[in-house]
């Protein structure tokens, strides 16, 4: 951001030197007050050709109104032109013919059917490998619970009777 201010300050200093060569330091100091008011102009407006144009158009020490008017006129004539938008967008050819679309639909249908068949085969293999056991109603017996704890790697389950280690102070 500081390079932008320096760029504009240099432009003002050049304008002061061109319009008030004998008192350019005082003119530059006075013209610096113009900078915040010229903030709506883009950086591209502050060039050597623009300062030359503004200085040439001003007769004597320019006022803010002079600088704004002449810089605005220069920028209007010299700013980059916006890109033209095409009047009509050309129509794109269809992505595929009806025959190609029908062929694609049949390939998709075949692929989905194949995947469903493979899923059914896999489910059948799993059903054979893991026989399902009917779920018993009610709760596990203490022996079933102890066996479940043993398979799970739990040393002792709730169903196991307490030992002397559990209650050392018991008589």
Residue pLDDT, tens place only, 77-101: 998 887 777 677 777 777 888 888 8
Q: What pLDDT score does 5 carry?
A: 63
Q: Report, in angstroms and rounded to the nearest whole number, the Rg of the chain calculated over CA atoms.
A: 45
Q: What pLDDT score does 137 carry?
A: 62
CB atoms within 10 A of CB 19: 22
Element (H, E) at 16: helix 2-19
Tens digit of pLDDT per residue, the chain (171 long)? 455 566 888 998 888 888 888 887 888 888 888 888 999 999 999 999 999 999 999 887 888 999 999 999 999 999 888 777 767 777 777 788 888 889 999 999 999 999 888 888 887 777 776 666 655 567 777 787 778 778 877 776 555 555 656 556 655
Residue 54, CB-side half-sphere exposure with 13 Å CA sphere? 31
3-state SS class at 8 = helix
- Spatial neighbors of 170 by CB under 8 A, at least 6 apart, are 164
């Amino acid at each position: 951001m500081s390079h932008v201010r320096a760029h504009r300050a240099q432009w003002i200093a050049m304008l002061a030197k061109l319009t008030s060569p004998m008192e350019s330091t005082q003119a530059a100091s006075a013209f610096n007050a113009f900078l915040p008011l010229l903030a709506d102009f883009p950086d591209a407006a502050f060039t050597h050709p623009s300062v030359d144009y503004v200085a040439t158009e001003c007769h004597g020490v320019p006022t803010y109104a002079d600088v704004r008017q002449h810089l605005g006129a220069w920028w209007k004539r010299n700013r980059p032109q916006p890109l033209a938008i095409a009047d009509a967008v050309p129509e794109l050819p269809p992505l595929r013919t009806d025959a190609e679309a029908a062929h694609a639909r049949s390939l998709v249908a075949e692929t989905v059917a194949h995947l469903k068949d493979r899923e059914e085969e896999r489910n059948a293999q799993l059903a054979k490998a893991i026989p399902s056991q009917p779920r018993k109603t009610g709760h596990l017996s203490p022996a079933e619970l102890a066996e479940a704890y043993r398979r799970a790697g739990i040393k002792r389950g709730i169903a196991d009777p307490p030992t002397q280690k559990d209650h050392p102070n018991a008589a």
